[in-house]
Chain A
Amino acid sequence: MEDSKQPILSVKNLGTSFFLREGEVKAVDGVSFSLNKGEVLALVGESGSGKTVTALSILRLIAWPPGKIVSGDVNLDGVDVFKLPMKEMRNIRGKGIAMILQEPMSSLNPSQTIGRQIQEAVEINQGLTGEAAKKAAIDMLGVVRIPSPEKRYYNYPHELSGGMKQRIMIAIALACRPKVLIADEPTCSLDVTIQAQILKLMQALRKEIDTTILFITSDLGIVAEMADRVAMMYAGQLIEILDVFTLFESPAHPYTKGIMGSIMAMKEGGRLNIIEGDPPNLLHLPSGCHFHPRCEFCQDICKTQEPAYTDLDGDGKHWVRCHFPIKSKLK
């Protein structure tokens, strides 16, 4: 367990579907990845690609009906999460994996003070009560750099700005002392200066508390800032896992390359490269490789056969799901 190579969280072949009147929507289809202790893995993809559903599935927070986890294993530090009875899931949520949700504005209970809400997380997950729990909650407010925490303890969510609410959400998540922290687009509804503050805070906290983070985002700038490794999602599938330097140097999947290419083109002052076409309708996925209708390197085999994962460099660090991975480097 002390071995740093041992992944703290591993997800294998995760599949989550929503069963609608129109048919089955495979929101997450065969996703596998693992997180080593202390690292930050960014889960990247456009909206609707299944990032949030992946995170919620790991915590088994998919509401049935219509959603259901149809396949997969999640192993958190030796515990097989999907085999636990639902009652014991409470011990995983919070203490095992805590999650910061997308919407800081609506994630807090408007009828309780923020202090009480942090204290709640402390009470549930650290087993403290009364004054000790209150003190721990006030400490957490200090940890997320809220000025004059003793006073702020008594504030209600409507008295805080969006950035401060997001800090409170981070404080609540960290108060759980999680083994893994899932941050689901923690900066998405904040303006740019506040985004920068929150990211800075998270980076500082990462060093201080040494947490393992699954960072969900669609912003490649944030990926470059935060992540050690990157997992790209497209139409519910993981299409490429690579470390962040390789991402900016030599992405192998045509979709990843397309996205990176668009940034690079911007840098050089050229026209913005776009990936032709629209993301597929999850109800009627293209046969074979889901990306083939938009892929500039599409061959016949891509239309009929789903590609398997290929280990590009043979060291298990760069996996790509493509029949014809790109070998060349980005300019």
Chain B
Amino acid sequence: MEQSKKPKKTSLLRRFRHNKPALFAGIVLIIILTMILFAPIFTNFGPAKSDLANRLTGPTTEASMAVGVTQPHFLGTDQLGRDIYTRLLYGGRVSLNVGFTVATIGGVIGVVLGMLAGYFGGWTDMIIMRMVDVWASSPTLLIALTFVMILGPGQKNLIFALLINSWTLFCRMARSQVLIIRSSAMVESGHAIGASTNRILYKHIMPNIISPMVTTYILELAHFINAEANLSFLGFGVQPPDTSWGLMIGEGRKYLTQAPWIVIFPGLMIATTVLCLNLIGNWIRDEFDPLAVKL
């Protein structure tokens, strides 16, 4: 097999194309992310700007004259006349921020601890894994709730509360993967040529556990976006006038019969985002699993 000097890697994007649901999910997610990140470009309203004349208006294409902005309330307004569409974009920032922060920090801590536990075994393993057992044996939301109650509501405290449990799954996953690789001939031969422990951990073990970790990361991301929505719904997340998808549902709950759009649209956003993340997560898992049948 004659190869060019630096062979092209099989493009991940090319393979992405063959999985229609994942491709679709990816596109939707990119649209959502762009709109959330560049919210001011996509809306003329402010997130807390009330249009009291048009309170609890349903989705409409007629521009409201009252606040001097020529943009219709596409998705209606809430009980204070705030534009749902605008609030979805700004609220999404909080939801995704919490999700990404918790999954990322938790992921890093979890993977590092899991690798140490798996690689060194013995007492290190014992201590780290018993900690994981203790944390993981109690329900995430209940622990988070307790902590938010103690620390007081707010975005930072919410992130902290969710972090307490978020590393455990990563830790378990990383440890089990490391256990498989640690005993392989590859690591043994690394030792045999005098490679240091650090080198073996970061050059030989880490690259080989990264794909299951990415899958876990994306699935956990979906999980924590959900968790944020749950806690905000209960009023333990960000506080008004800031908002998040969960809080929007929580606040709109009282008007469910008169103005269902207040609840429906943030609900749809959460569902769509989480679904997309799950689809992508599953695709990555299949893609990196050597035993899975490639379609």
Contact = CB atoms under 8 A, between A and B. Distances in A.
Contact of B193 (A106, A150, A155, A173): A173
B292 interface: no
A172 B189 contact: yes
Contact of B7 (A65, A120, A154): A154
Contacts of A120: 193, 195, 199, 203
Interface in A96-142: 98-99, 101-103, 106-112, 120-121, 124-125
Q: What interface size band does chain A fall in? A: 35 or more
A101 B188 contact: yes
A150 B5 CA distance: 8
Contacts of B195: 90, 94, 120, 124
A102 B185 contact: yes
Given A111-B208, A125-B194, A159 B1 contact: yes
Contacts of A76: none
B191 interface: yes
A176 B193 CA distance: 7
Nearest to B192: A99
7 contacts: A61-B192, A109-B190, A112-B204, A112-B207, A124-B193, A155-B3, A155-B7
Contacts of B7: 154-155
B189 A99 contact: yes
A110 to B, nearest CB: 7
Interface in B158-210: 184-186, 188-196, 199, 203-204, 207-208
Contact of A109 (B1, B194, B196, B208): B208
Contacts of B189: 99, 101, 107-108, 169, 172
Contact of B186 (A91, A94, A102, A109): A109
Contact of A107 (B6, B186, B203, B208): B186
A167 interface: no
A189 to B, nearest CB: 11
A106 B186 contact: yes
Contacts of A172: 189, 193
The 7 nearest A-B residue pairs measured at CB: A94-B194, A111-B207, A99-B192, A93-B194, A107-B185, A94-B193, A107-B189
Contacts of A125: 193-194
A51 to B, nearest CB: 15
A232 interface: no
B192 A124 contact: no
B194 A176 contact: yes
A27 interface: no
B192 A91 contact: no
Nearest to A97: B192
Contacts of B199: 120, 124
Contacts of B203: 109, 112, 120
A106 B184 CA distance: 7
Interface residues of B, number: 24
B271 to A, nearest CB: 36
Nearest to B209: A111
A304 B193 CA distance: 43
B93 to A, nearest CB: 35
User: In terms of DSSP, what is the predominant structure of the interface of chain B?
Assistant: helix
Given A93-B193, A101-B185, A159-B1, 5 more contacts: A98-B192, A101-B188, A107-B189, A109-B190, A110-B208
B188 A124 contact: no
A151 interface: yes
A95 interface: yes
B111 to A, nearest CB: 16
Contacts of A98: 192-193
Nearest to B122: A65
A59 interface: yes
A65 B190 CA distance: 20
A106 B6 CA distance: 24
A152 to B, nearest CB: 8
Contacts of B196: 90
Interface string B1-37: 1011111000000000000000000000000000000
A93 B189 CA distance: 10
Nearest to A124: B194
Nearest to B208: A111
Which of B1, B5, B186, B203 has the most chain A CB atoms closer than 10 A to its own CB? B186
Interface string A43-69: 000000000000000010100010000
A107 B181 CA distance: 11
A95 B203 CA distance: 20
Which of B185, B192, B203 has the most chain A CB atoms closer than 10 A to its own CB? B192
A108 B194 contact: no
A33 B204 CA distance: 34
A270 B25 CA distance: 72
A312 to B, nearest CB: 35
Contact of A59 (B192, B204, B207, B208): B192
A138 B196 CA distance: 23
Contacts of A103: 185
Contacts of B192: 59, 61, 93-94, 98-99, 101, 173
A188 B12 CA distance: 37
B290 to A, nearest CB: 10
